[in-house]
Amino acid sequence: MPREIDLLGFYMPTLLPLFIVAFALQWRIDGWLGRLGFYTHVWHPALFRFSVLLGLFAGCGLLLYR
């Protein structure tokens, strides 16, 4: 997989679109967990949200670069 993506003459890192995808997935998962009331059982909701984002981003990166 190339390390950069050419977008209209602008080279951007391959991980940038993956981060955007991971952020969109985390936003969707966060909405579902919020509606289910899951965050009332979590000690630190902001830290949990950040760890879910990092896990999704790492998983997307591992799928790309394996």
The full 3-state SS of 1-66, as one line of letters, equals CCCEEEECCEEEECHHHHHHHHHHHHHHHHHHHHHHCHHHHCCCHHHHHHHHHHHHHHHHHHHHCC
How much is the pLDDT for 51?
97
What is the residue extent of each domain of the chain? Answer: 4-64
pLDDT digits (tens, 9 = 90+) for 12-27: 888 888 999 999 999 9
Query: What is the pTM (predicted TM-score) of this model?
Result: 0.83
Q: What residues contact 39, with CB distance under 8 A and at least 6 apart?
A: 33, 45, 48
